[in-house]
Amino acid sequence: MIIGIMPLILITLALWGLFLIGVIHASVFILVAAFHAAGCVGDLYFEIVLMFSPIGAMVEDTATGMTIYVK
């Protein structure tokens, strides 16, 4: 779960940092952050599926989706 959510967190923090130190303008920040968050929707869906999976479930990432194995 940590690996799945880290790109969203780290890139968002980097964007915030660039905005706060004045490297990017507010409109650029909003546009880039919105596109980034939209791209992370699949990762967020994956995180929600994992949260509702039983403890000990194993996940296989496949080319067409994911498979969750439960004992």
pLDDT above 90 for 2: no
Q: What is the pLDDT of residues 3-62, one digit of tens each?
A: 889 999 999 999 999 999 999 999 999 999 999 999 999 889 888 988 998 888 888 888
* Neighbour count for residue 28 (Cβ, 10 Å): 13
CA–CA distances in Å: residue 29 to residues 10, 37, 49, 66: 15, 12, 29, 32
pLDDT of residue 62: 86
Closest CA to 71 of 53, 57, 52: 57
Q: What are the residue ranges of helices labelled H in the chain?
A: 2-20, 26-39, 41-51
